[in-house]
Copies of this chain bind each other. A is one copy, B any other.
Amino acid sequence: MSSLNASAPVWTIFAPDRSSEDSLQDQVYAFFRDAIAEGRLRPGQRLPSTRGLARENRLGRGTIAIAFDRLLAEGYIETRPGVGTLVAEDLADLPMVMPPSPGVEPESKFVAEAALPEASGRARSVGALPLHDPAPGPLFLNPGYPAVDAFPFKTWARLASQFWRSEPAQLLGYQDPQGYLPLRIAISEYLRTARGIAATPDRILVTSGSQQAVDLVTRALLEPGDKVCIEDPGYIGLKGAITASGAVLAPAPVDEQGLIVAEARRKGAGTRLAIVTPTHQFPTGAMLSLARRLELLRWAADEDVWLLEDDYDSEFRYEGRPLSALHSLDPDGRVIYAGTFSKVLAPAIRLGYLVAPSRLMPVLRRLRAHVDRHPPIDSQAVLARFIDEGHFGVHVRRMRLLYRERRDALVAALHGEFGPRASPEPPTSGMHLTLALPAGISDVEVSARALAVGVKCPPLSAYCQTATSRSGLLLGFANLDPALAPQVATRLGAVIAGMQTGMADPVSTPQSNTVSI
């Protein structure tokens, strides 16, 4: 490096670094750009000749020339006939240095959300909510988590490869925001045969999963400040999607018949939307009774409430027949039906669907186009083919058997650990059961202690919106290797025994998917 002399021009401190990953011309460019931007070279100041600069730094003249051309093109420098190359004059009145944001390093790690008061109110409200754990361990019992190891990898690989090898150029532009028509046809057929739902493809919109379904519906139908009735306890992820739309939560309690509609009606005057899980209430497992269904539809008609029926896991019924969807009682009225492939196939493929009243579809379709256009075409085409070729039906039946086996293994292990106090009734549907806890024991604390010994299972109280006496552990069995079920039971037994001081009564009223101990 040249020695630094106060009267020497600033470029004498430039020294090319031949070991750098940046090219020499990039180094020349960056040096002069920064010197100009930081005011060390002034507007109108003459620059050295490319020849002189090249010689001084033992660089090719072409290297300097390329860097200078770029500075010229970007407006940092200009050439004047008979004078030479100068720092551009029209920067004179402009600030040359942008002050760095206070306290923020360019490469800094995430800072706490509190550090961003500029975020919108809705973004801040979302920021406080929990996120899904992306890295489950072997004893990961989050409810609603399917058997990812049982995914039909080989078939999917074959169909994906077939899709791309067919060179589907005509499908690679912007596609229908309502979803790929062959997939909508396949879903329509599936709904008709498996769920008894009459939904023509023009009433189906393919979503990127249930979370987006809630996002689209709330944004399409609600003004900021509108109320949304949700079940309490209920699915936590709803809160984020609802508050992100600017709407307000109006939780209503659930009993063994599902949502207590009279409570919802009483608490939620001015409600514009109610989100319900009639087939299999999440997380209590209650089935919404017919009387309640009709009461709900009556409320919807009386007070212009939209109903979003979240039918997230109706595929997994182990005994008896699935009930008719709420949607079937009101197919083109105020019920919007949401299904997902996250539970039946896998969350990471990000596909689901809405069945909406026909008058609502143009609004949803256009909103979706402007939100993110459509799901990737390959995912949609592969799934359509997967359903059409019959693999989907086979997979659902396989998973139903697998989950029943896993349910039985977990129930047996819990009975083995907790003895005759444990209720003999395993859940007849779904992907999790609720373990009731002895009175006086905090489910939050049990959950935390269980995590410390490697068992991940959330407390029921975490799904409650309001103060409640509900307590328990949610144990998802769909992704649990049956061989590991005894370990789960033993570890939970040890945790609970360590907290117990003679208490024995279960704390909750029995629910349809609850194992009491």
Could you list which residues of chain A lie within 8 angstroms of chain B, going by C-beta atoms?
A: 26, 33, 37, 66, 69-70, 73-76, 88, 90-91, 94-96, 98-101, 104-113, 115-116, 118-124, 126-127, 129, 131-134, 136, 145, 148-149, 151, 153-154, 156-158, 160-161, 163-165, 167, 169-177, 196, 198, 200, 202, 208-209, 211-212, 215, 219-224, 237, 240-241, 244, 246, 289-291, 294-295, 297-298, 301, 304, 306, 320-321, 323-324, 329-334, 346-351, 357-363, 366-367, 369-379
Contacts and interface: CB of A to CB of B under 8 A. Distances in A.
Given A200-B107, A211-B373, A291-B94, A115 B359 contact: yes
A512 to B, nearest CB: 12
A290 B99 contact: no
A134 B165 contact: no
28 contacts: A26-B196, A70-B323, A74-B290, A88-B290, A98-B330, A107-B200, A108-B358, A110-B202, A110-B358, A113-B362, A116-B360, A120-B221, A120-B223, A123-B219, A123-B363, A123-B366, A127-B363, A133-B174, A134-B176, A136-B173, A148-B173, A157-B161, A211-B373, A219-B244, A237-B370, A241-B370, A349-B378, A375-B376
A355 B245 CA distance: 24
A364 to B, nearest CB: 8
Contacts of A70: 321, 323
A173 B347 contact: yes
A428 to B, nearest CB: 10
A516 to B, nearest CB: 23
* Stoichiometry (number of copies): 2
A288 to B, nearest CB: 10
Contact of A148 (B124, B169, B200, B359): B169
Nearest to A214: B370
B90 A132 contact: no
Contact of A332 (B105, B148, B165, B330): B105
Contacts of A121: 223
A290 B133 CA distance: 44
Interface pairs A-B: 5 shortest CB-CB: A240-B370, A75-B290, A157-B164, A172-B346, A132-B174
Given A167-B153, A174-B348, A369-B240, A120 B222 contact: yes
A167 B148 CA distance: 10
A304 to B, nearest CB: 7
A91 B294 contact: yes
A165 B177 contact: no
B291 A75 contact: yes
Contact of A350 (B105, B362, B375): B375
B373 A132 contact: yes
Contacts of A110: 202, 358, 361-362
Given A116-B359, A294-B94, A362-B110, A369 B172 contact: no
Q: Which of A70, A127, A363 is packed against the most chain B CB atoms within 10 Å?
A: A363
Given A101-B332, A208-B208, A348-B171, A220 B119 contact: yes
Given A104-B357, A156-B164, 9 more contacts: A69-B321, A70-B321, A94-B298, A101-B334, A173-B348, A212-B373, A215-B370, A244-B367, A350-B374
Given A121-B223, A223-B120, A375-B350, A98 B145 contact: no
A120 B220 contact: yes
Contacts of A371: 211-212, 215, 241, 244
